[in-house]
Structure 1
Amino acid sequence: MRFLLLPLLLLAGCASVPPAPPPAHSDALWRLIERDCQGAQSPRGDCLQVRPAVDHRDVLVKDAHGHYQFLLMPLDKVSGIESPALYRRGAPNYFAAAWQARARTEQALGQPLPRSVASLALNSPHGRSQHQLHIHVDCLRADVLQALEDNRATLGTQWAPLPVLLRGHQYQARLLPGVALTANPLNLLAYGLSGVDKVGQWSLLVAGHEDVHGAPGFILLATQLDPDSGNDASAEELQDHACSVLTGADASLERVR
Structure 2
Amino acid sequence: MNNRMHAARAWLSLCACAVLGWTASGAHAADAHAKDRDALWKQVHDMCAVKAGQGVYPPAPCIDVQPGQNGYAIFKDRDGRYQYLLLPLARITGIESPLLLTPDAANYLARAWSARLYVEAALDAEQSRDVIGLVVNSPMGRSQDQLHIHIDCLRADVRDTIKRLLPAITEHWNWLPEALPPNQHRYLARWVSGADLKINPFKDLAHALPPGDSMAMHSLVVIGAYSPSGKPGFVLLSGRVDVANLDRGNADDLQDMGCAIARRVTSL
Aligned position for 2:233:
217
Looking at structure 2, the residues matched to 93 and 183 of structure 1 have their Cα atoms a distance apart, in angstroms, of 8
Partner SS for 1:119 = strand
Looking at structure 2, the residues matched to 75 and 113 of structure 1 have their Cα atoms a distance apart, in angstroms, of 28
Cα shift readout 1:210-252 (whole Å, capped 9, x = no counterpart): 112221110001010010000001111111111111269xxxx
Aligned position for 1:27:
38
Are the counterparts in 2 of residues 142 and 245 from structure 1 also a CA contact under 8 Å?
yes
Aligned residue among 191, 195, 201 for 2:217: 201
Looking at structure 1, the residues matched to 209 and 130 of structure 2 have their Cα atoms a distance apart, in angstroms, of 24
User: How many angstroms does 1:182 deviate by?
Assistant: 1.3
Matched, 1:117 2:131: yes
Matched, 1:46 2:42: no
Partner SS for 1:150 = helix
Q: Of Structure 1 and Structure 2, which has the larger fraction of its residues in helix?
A: 2
User: How many angstroms does 1:162 deviate by?
Assistant: 0.7
Cα shift readout 1:179-220 (whole Å, capped 9, x = no counterpart): 111110101111113669610100010000111222111000
Aligned residues, how many?
228
Aligned position for 1:36:
48
Are the counterparts in 2 of residues 81 and 133 from structure 1 also a CA contact under 8 Å?
yes
Cα shift readout 1:10-56 (whole Å, capped 9, x = no counterpart): xxxxxxxxxx99632111111110212333145422211111222x3
Looking at structure 2, the residues matched to 173 and 227 of structure 1 have their Cα atoms a distance apart, in angstroms, of 20
Aligned position for 1:243:
259
Partner SS for 2:100 = helix
Q: TM-score, normalised by structure 1?
A: 0.84
Are the counterparts in 2 of residues 190 and 196 from structure 1 also a CA contact under 8 Å?
no
Matched, 1:143 2:157: yes
**What stretches of structure 1 move > 3 A for 4+ residues in a row?**
194-197
- Please list, as runs of the form range in 1=range in 2, the aligned pairs for 1:1-150 lying within 5 A after superposition: 23=33, 24-33=35-44, 34-38=46-50, 39-42=53-56, 43-54=58-69, 56-150=70-164
Matched, 1:182 2:193: no
Aligned position for 2:10:
none
Looking at structure 2, the residues matched to 208 and 247 of structure 1 have their Cα atoms a distance apart, in angstroms, of 15
Are the counterparts in 2 of residues 140 and 243 from structure 1 also a CA contact under 8 Å?
yes
**Of 27-36 and 67-76, the range deviating more from structure 2:** 27-36
Q: Return the letter of the residue paired with 1:26.
A: R
**Of 45-54 and 81-90, the range deviating more from structure 2:** 45-54
User: How many angstroms does 1:89 deviate by?
Assistant: 0.7
Partner SS for 1:244 = coil
Change (3 A) 1:59 1:117: same
Are the counterparts in 1 of residues 73 and 89 from structure 2 also a CA contact under 8 Å?
yes
Looking at structure 2, the residues matched to 142 and 235 of structure 1 have their Cα atoms a distance apart, in angstroms, of 15
Looking at structure 1, the residues matched to 134 and 127 of structure 2 have their Cα atoms a distance apart, in angstroms, of 13
Aligned position for 1:153:
167
Matched, 1:169 2:180: no
Q: Return the letter of the residue paired with 1:37.
A: A
Are the counterparts in 1 of residues 126 and 263 from structure 2 also a CA contact under 8 Å?
no
Q: In structure 1, list runs of 5 or more residues that go unmatched.
A: 1-19, 249-257
Change (3 A) 1:21 1:62: closer
- Please list, as runs of the form range in 1=range in 2, the aligned pairs for 1:222-237 lying within 5 A after superposition: 222-237=238-253
Q: Return the letter of the residue paired with 1:156.
A: T
Q: In structure 2, list runs of 5 or more residues that go unmatched.
A: 1-29
